[in-house]
């Protein structure tokens, strides 16, 4: 029996999906296990596989298959959505010449490896030549896509991470936050200063004990170690595939909370990947729906759930037992106060909920200026420190605590950072809708039963994958597209009233 045009497309995209999965596992390995001497070879491998995917998406035969599939009357709603995502993937690939795909991939691999050394040595100058090359290619990539999609340079790059998003929406939402967050931070710090400081549990905290605690909580949340791993990397991330999810964290024996919250954050990402519909694996419609939804799932778990009182009531005995702790420092109330303490700090991934948006807004402002050519890359450390002084009232003492702290730019991810705060807003809006819809969710969390919450997320977010736009997912789940109100209500309740 001859395959229909749509069936032929599914077969082609399934093969490309398998190659993309191989790329993801190789990238994970590069950040966890690969020796430094393998960087050049790995860079060639990654670039070659990316060109294979690109060649598959730019095959002229796809045009006829897409046209034929458009004329089919036997496609259901998911197949129609898959066809739309296929067409978008083809259009994106056609905007990029193969030699640019390869050059960009190799430059990013080289820069990331250089960044690792530069970060350890707090030496921005050491990574600057490789970084300049990446930024030049980022502009080339953005320009190529902008010409095809009729977008600005920045919006063309943003589209890779937030399909359908744009600076107009981000600027409006961020302006609403910027109008109130500084005052909220000041009030929260004032209130905090009137209370006794929470007690710091005494360390050290052995890495083995931290890992065991993380594994226990991951499993309670629903992570399936038959389909995933927990490892160590310089910068925590989630990689792998929806059936083989690889998450990483980093440990500090002086403070167990950094690694624990990193594990819980990445577990949120992993649960989303594990919850994507298996029937649509390796098809565009079966992919995660952009990074603001992805980040909403990690931040919903880390911030909305795991920094809440209900979770700490359940987790405190496990934390105490993991480190053999005794006394008031290990009580749930004290651990909750530690986890919700507001502080003007240097590091984004360690920031509290109130100050976190300032870290993101700074990166958003800087990357837009760098992409537009309004700022020299060599001036980044100075501009970063000035922005930190303006937005958070602190100045990093070195580049490792400043502009070298995040991997994203050095690895070629430009246009990514706004999705963190968009994700935090999505998370608040989704969690409020979930707890309003199912009264069993909060009591379940307090008892260590996350099944009610996960069932709601599976039905309203995970299971929809890319069958709908971000706005459609949010509207169907919460009754409205993304807005700042639920996020600000959450922050006020936790930090100004709690």
Ranges in the chain, pLDDT < 50: none
Measure the CA–CA gap between 180 and 256, rounded to whole angstroms: 32
Q: Determine the pLDDT at residue 369.
A: 98
The CATH label, of 1.10.1370.30, 1.20.1090.10, 3.30.470.20, 1.10.3720.10, for the domain at 167-497 is 1.10.1370.30
Output the CA angle 364-411-390, nearest 5 degrees: 25
446-460 residue pLDDT tens? 999 999 999 999 999
Record the tokens describing residue 399, joined without a space: 């580049």
User: What is the helix (H) or strand (E) element at residue 45, kind and residue range?
Assistant: helix 39-57
Q: Determine the pLDDT at residue 497.
A: 87
Q: Determine the pLDDT at residue 235.
A: 82
Q: Which residues are annotated as catalytic?
A: 266
User: What is the helix (H) or strand (E) element at residue 336, kind and residue range?
Assistant: helix 332-339
Q: Determine the pLDDT at residue 143.
A: 97
- How far the first Cα of the chain sits from its last, in Å, is 65
Measure the CA–CA gap between 318 and 290, rounded to whole angstroms: 34
Alpha-carbon dihedral angle through residues 263, 268, 270, 274, given to the nearest 10 degrees: 150
Q: Determine the pLDDT at residue 1.
A: 74
Q: Determine the pLDDT at residue 234.
A: 84
Q: SS3 for 228?
A: strand
pTM score: 0.95
Q: Determine the pLDDT at residue 45.
A: 96
Record the tokens describing residue 163, joined without a space: 């399909």
Q: Determine the pLDDT at residue 498.
A: 64
Exposed/middle/buried for residue 487 (C-beta within 10 Å: 0-12, 13-18, 19+): buried
Q: Determine the pLDDT at residue 376.
A: 97
User: What is the helix (H) or strand (E) element at residue 240, kind and residue range?
Assistant: strand 238-241
Measure the CA–CA gap between 208 and 475, rounded to whole angstroms: 43
Q: Crossing angle for the helix pair 309-323 and 256-275, nearest 10 degrees? A: 120
């Amino acid at each position: 029996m001859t395959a229909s045009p749509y069936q032929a497309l599914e077969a082609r995209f399934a093969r490309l999906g398998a190659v993309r999965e191989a790329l993801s596992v190789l990238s994970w390995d590069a950040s966890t296990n690969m020796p430094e001497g393998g960087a050049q070879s790995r860079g060639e491998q990654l670039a070659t596989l990316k060109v294979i995917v690109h060649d598959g998406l730019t095959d002229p035969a796809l045009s006829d298959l897409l046209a034929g599939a458009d004329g089919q009357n036997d496609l259901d709603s998911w197949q129609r959505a898959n066809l739309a995502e296929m067409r978008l993937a083809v259009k994106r690939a056609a905007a990029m010449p193969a030699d640019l795909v390869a050059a960009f991939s190799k430059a990013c691999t080289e820069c990331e490896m250089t960044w690792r050394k530069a970060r350890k040595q707090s030496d921005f100058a050491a990574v600057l030549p490789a970084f300049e090359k990446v930024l030049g290619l980022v502009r080339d990539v953005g320009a190529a896509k902008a010409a095809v999609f009729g977008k600005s340079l920045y919006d063309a790059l943003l589209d890779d991470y937030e399909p359908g998003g744009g600076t107009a929406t981000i600027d409006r939402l961020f302006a609403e936050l910027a109008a109130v967050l500084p005052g909220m931070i000041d009030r929260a710090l004032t209130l905090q200063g009137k209370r006794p400081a929470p007690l710091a549990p005494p360390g050290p905290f052995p890495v083995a004990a931290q890992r065991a605690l993380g594994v226990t909580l991951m499993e309670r949340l629903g992570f399936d170690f038959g389909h995933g791993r927990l490892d160590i990397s310089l910068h925590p991330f989630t990689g792998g595939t929806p059936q083989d999810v690889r998450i990483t964290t980093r440990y500090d024996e002086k403070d167990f909370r950094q690694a624990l919250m990193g594990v819980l954050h990445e577990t949120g990402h992993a649960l989303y990947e594990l919850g994507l519909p298996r029937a649509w694996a390796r098809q565009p419609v079966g992919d995660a729906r952009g990074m603001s939804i992805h980040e909403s799932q990690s931040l919903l778990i880390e911030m909305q759930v795991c920094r809440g009182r209900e979770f700490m009531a359940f987790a405190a005995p496990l934390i105490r037992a993991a480190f053999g702790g005794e006394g008031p420092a290990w009580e749930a109330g004290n651990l909750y106060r530690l986890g919700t303490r507001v502080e003007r700090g240097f590091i984004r991934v360690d920031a509290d909920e109130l100050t976190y948006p300032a870290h993101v807004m700074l990166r958003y402002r800087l990357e837009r200026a760098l992409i537009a050519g309004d700022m020299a890359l060599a001036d980044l450390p100075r501009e970063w420190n000035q922005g930190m002084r303006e937005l958070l009232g602190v100045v990093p003492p070195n580049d490792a605590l400043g502009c070298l702290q995040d991997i994203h730019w050095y690895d070629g991810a430009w246009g990514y950072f706004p999705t963190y705060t968009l994700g935090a807003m999505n998370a608040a809006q989704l969690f409020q809708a979930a707890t309003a819809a199912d009264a069993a969710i909060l009591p379940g969390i307090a008892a260590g039963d996350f099944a009610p919450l996960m069932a709601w997320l599976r039905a309203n977010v995970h299971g929809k994958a890319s069958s709908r736009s971000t706005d459609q997912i949010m509207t169907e789940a919460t009754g409205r597209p993304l807005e700042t109100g639920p996020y600000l209500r959450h922050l006020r309740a936790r930090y100004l009233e709690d």
